[in-house]
A and B are shown apart, each in its own frame.
Chain A
Amino acid sequence: MNDIHTEFEKIYRASFPSLSKYVLFRVAQASDMEDLLQNVYTDFYRNVLMKKKEVDDVDAYLMQMTLNELKKYYRFKKKAPITLIDEDDNAWVQEIPDADNPHLHVIERSTLEEIETALKRLDFPQQQVLIAKLKLEMTFAEIALSLRVNENTIKARYYRALERLQKEVDQ
């Protein structure tokens, strides 16, 4: 039992970042990401490790389980409306280093609690780009590729997310 648990934690720690990245771009709201991953790992523990099922490629197996869970999710989860952010003309977007971003300076002066509350008030596409850029340390180009949108669109979304976050923490 303990061996299984140790093995499970090892697999979990190794695969969590890549599965998180995969799920992040395929759900309709932030709270669904964790629920979905919990289901995948719990099923893996119960159906693979507990039953001592032979799996050649654990990463590929987990990815397939995630895909199946997403299929169920698309069909049965209540769909949250996706907010379209006005991103008509993003050709103007210039990359601003984070160190020079005035919104970030204001945000950084707030408490963790204030920022966390403000983060939860953002639209999911804005949360998504902040998680991808700052938590998963993806580049704008990588995020754009994952969401299959223009890189300038992602940059604009990121800067608008910071601007909105600053407004939220100011309130």
Chain B
Amino acid sequence: MNQLKKSLDAAFLDEDRVFAKIENKINRRPKARRTFSLAMVAATVALALLLGMARLLSPMNVVAGVVTVDLNPSLRIELSKDYTVLDVSGVNAEAQSMDLSSLKGLPIQEALMEIVRLTIEAGYLDPLALTSDYILITTVSYDGNDQTFNLDLKDLLEKVKTETPSLDGFNLAFMQAEKQDLEDAEDSDLPLWLYLLSKNNPDVVSSPTSTVQDYFEDEDLKTEFENEFGEVLEDDHEIDLEDLEEALDELEEHGVDVSEYRRRLATSGVDLNALKSEILVQLDRIEENEVDDDDDEISQDNDDDEEDDEDDEEDEEDDD
């Protein structure tokens, strides 16, 4: 048994080896400081100035267009001609509560993956690949005659979806807008997508806080979107055991007894799609309960406010 144990120690989770790797990582420092002569410092400053000026004059530093990403949070991203993020801002409260500084300088594909990660971390999206959430991407070319900006950008972002697993569980919806729409949306204090979709049909949006998920969950609205506004790239990744296990962990965290599901999942030949449907029903129930709880809280808050108002009125009458 000694041989096998020693081999296992060497092959997996070797405490000393992992420690050495961690040490290596944390000891990776910037190169040691050197002393510089005055001439070297002056030359460096001059070079930096030249490079800075060249960068400022370069078209790569000029905003070529904007992409808005709405998955509730809603973000507005300014892009250079080569689709690098020049600036990013939150359009709604959810996005404004997030630290988006890490997105600057990233190629848009990486920025999109990072946005999804940050959104999950902030708790605005569930990380389950089993439930399909929507991400609406609206592209705006600053040169209205240059359609390649919009088309190439769409291609790049579609590839993130089709060639990496990072957007498993997400449907991507695309639409285009004009620079004028962007300015009008800003004037009306609405996220661009909400402004565009409600422009011709004000009933589409029941409130300025409507979310992309609410919109696409309505089959009629989704059809209307596909017919009139843009395109939806449906999530088509195949559900695997790991996806289902993640979902079961989520159910368990909400107090659901999942032992029977786990037993079935461990059985070979289990029908994953049937299991998926059953687990989704349970997840929906949890979501409905959470919405009900939120409604109760809001209603309770409203009741409290009304009681406070009544108390105030009574106090005023007493004073009279």
- Give the interface of A toward B (CB within 8 A): 9, 12-13, 16-17, 20, 24, 28, 30, 33-34, 37-38, 41-42, 45-46, 68, 71-72, 74-79, 81-82, 84-88, 98, 104, 107-112, 115-116, 119-120, 127, 130-131, 134-135, 147-150, 153, 165
Contacts and interface: CB of A to CB of B under 8 A. Distances in A.
Interface of B: 1-13, 15, 17-19, 21-22, 25-26, 113, 116-117, 120-121, 127, 165-166, 240-242, 246, 259, 262-263, 266-269
Contacts, number: 124
B3 A107 contact: yes
A130 B8 contact: yes
Nearest to B128: A74
A135 B262 contact: no
Nearest to B167: A75
Main secondary structure of the interface of B (DSSP, over half): helix
Given A74-B246, A108-B2, A30 B12 contact: yes
A154 to B, nearest CB: 10
Contacts of A134: 1, 4-5, 8
Nearest to A50: B26
Contacts of B240: 79, 81-82
A27 B8 CA distance: 18
Contacts of B8: 119, 130-131, 134-135
A49 B263 CA distance: 42
Nearest to B258: A148
Contacts of B113: 76
Contacts of B241: 82, 84
A65 to B, nearest CB: 13
